[in-house]
Amino acid sequence: VWDVAVIGAGPAGSAAALAAARAGLKVILLDRQDFPRDKTCGDGIAPQVLDVLESLGVPDVTEGYTPVPVLRLDGPDGASAQREMPRPAYVIPRLVFDARLVQAAQRAGVTFRRHTAREIKAEAGYVTVDEIKARVVIGADGASSLVRKTLGEAPNQPGHLALAIRGYTAAVPSQPRSPEDQPGEPPRQLIVLARQHWPAYAWSFPIGDGRCNVGYGEMVTRTPTSREHLLGRLRALIPGLGELSSVRAHHLPLSTSRPAPGRGRILLAGDALSLINPFTGEGIYYAVTSGKLAGEAAVTGAFAASAYEQALRRTLGRHLRHTTATARLASLPWLTNAAIQAAGRDQRVFDSFVELGLGNGLLSAGLLARVVRQIPGKWASYVDAGK
């Protein structure tokens, strides 16, 4: 009997396996694919991800990749903010990034096995994953999680689910609304928000080897969409894109609607727990954070789910409430535009939005007031009168 079986070896699963192994548990990490494997993603690695990995004893995951210090946001109504991030991000193809994490887990004593989980059953004192027995099972099996289904939890519904397509370009595309851009400028991540199909955006993230990860995402609605539509929107928002390779789309279960984090000895982490930031689509930070907490909670055996729920609430509870509120506000394109305008004018506003969109940040009253001040007319004068 294993102490822990982790299903899925993406960032959530590897972080869970690492945390459990570091707590002295005997861990098996399962994935239906061998590594390295691709995962449809923007490949943007927020600096906050690196903090979590470092705390798990993995300091070298960015080796060989260039830091990307600048972020540019183009708003839906013409506002634009381009600034240095408080700390640089990285763009590391998931083909490389996820394999490095699996290797780190193996170095920490975790056993990796290629295996597609098909049936999970809770028994007295343990859980079975097909023929594998473990005291605790962590479902880190992504956006179409089988473990989540086993717990009787429905997948995210339209309104709480996005769909994004991504591809790789051989050359850095020309970027819109920035004639001032010159070669030799520091590398930057570009995000272009679109009014059409709001909330929706396209991105272009430079990997540092001459290629860019480019993509486009929008909310899932009751009307089915197509690959042609998503690619058409990408090309409209980032003109001048050449040929794209490895073009694939994938769902993003947003954190505005989450299932219970676990029951008894079975836990969910990462996308399986719908932990994607609703206004940036960032999910890797929440995957490694929840994975780490799930792996640590596994030491409590039968009490794992309640220990995990408490740890999650302590670590991410306030942030998740604030991002849900922010997503509601961001459903108004003009308010988002005002937020980008404020971020363009004030580094503190920019930094706060970066922390809210990529990490564990909060939406403070002061931040909101700085945004509202950008709106011409009545609201802004109320705020100014209250100063």
Which spans of this chain sit near ligand FAD (rule: CB under 6 A)?
7-13, 30-33, 39-44, 116-117, 140-142, 146, 164, 166, 215, 250, 252, 270-272, 276, 281-284, 287
Burial bucket for residue 135 (CB in 10 Å: 0-12, 13-18, 19+) = buried
CA distances to 33, 119, 120 from 115, in Å: 8, 12, 13
Instruction: CB nearer to ligand FAD: give 98 or 346.
Output: 98
Distance between CA atoms of 164 and 131, rounded to whole angstroms?
Answer: 35
Question: Exposed (0-12), middle (13-18) or buried (19+): which is 114, by Cβ within 10 Å?
Answer: exposed
In the complex, the smallest distance separating the C-beta of residue 131 from ligand FAD, rounded to whole angstroms, is: 14
Q: Which is nearer to ligand FAD, 148 or 373 (CB)?
A: 148
Q: How far is the CB of 13 from ligand FAD (least distance, A)?
A: 5
- Nearest approach in angstroms of CB 48 to ligand FAD is 10
What interhelical angle do 304-330 and 284-297 show, nearest 10? Answer: 160
Q: Indicate the residue among 108 and 129 with the shorter CB distance to ligand FAD.
A: 129
Cβ-closest residue to ligand FAD?
Answer: 283
Smaller CB separation from ligand FAD, 82 or 213: 213
DSSP state of 232: H
CA angle 238, 191, 74 (to 5 degrees): 90
Encoding tokens for residue 310? 């408490």
- Residue 262 CB, shortest distance to ligand FAD, in Å, is 14
Task: Give the separation between CA 113 and CA 17, rounded to whole angstroms.
Answer: 12
Q: Measured from the CB atom, is 282 or 309 closer to ligand FAD? A: 282
> How near is the Cβ of 270 to ligand FAD at its closest, in Å?
2
Q: Is 245 exposed, middle or buried (0-12, 13-18, 19+ CB in 10 A)?
A: exposed
Rounded to 5°, angle at Cα 195 from 191 and 198: 90
Beta carbon nearer to ligand FAD, 163 or 380: 163
Nearest-CA neighbor of 319 among 356, 371, 289?
Answer: 356
The span from the CA of 291 to the CA of 261, in Å, is: 11
Least Å distance between CB 35 and ligand FAD? 8
For ligand FAD, which is the closer residue by CB, 285 or 341? 285
Omega cis (within 30) before 36 = yes
Q: Which is nearer to ligand FAD, 141 or 309 (CB)?
A: 141
Q: How far is the CB of 42 from ligand FAD (least distance, A)?
A: 3
Q: 158: cis peptide before it, omega within 30°?
A: no
Q: Which two tokens stand for residue 253?
A: 């279960």
Closest CB 6 distance from ligand FAD, rounded Å? 9
Closest approach, Cβ 198 to ligand FAD, in A, equals 18
Chain Cα centroid distance, residue 62: 17
Q: How far apart are CA 90 and CA 356, in angstroms?
A: 18
Please report where in the chains the tokens 């409430």 appear, as a residue: 321
Q: In angstroms, what is the minimal distance from the CB of 167 to ligand FAD?
A: 10
Output 249 or 342, the one with its CB closest to ligand FAD: 249
Q: Which is nearer to ligand FAD, 3 or 31 (CB)?
A: 31
Q: Judge residue 64's burial from the number of C-beta atoms within 10 Å of its C-beta, 0-12 exposed, 13-18 middle, 19 or more buried.
A: exposed
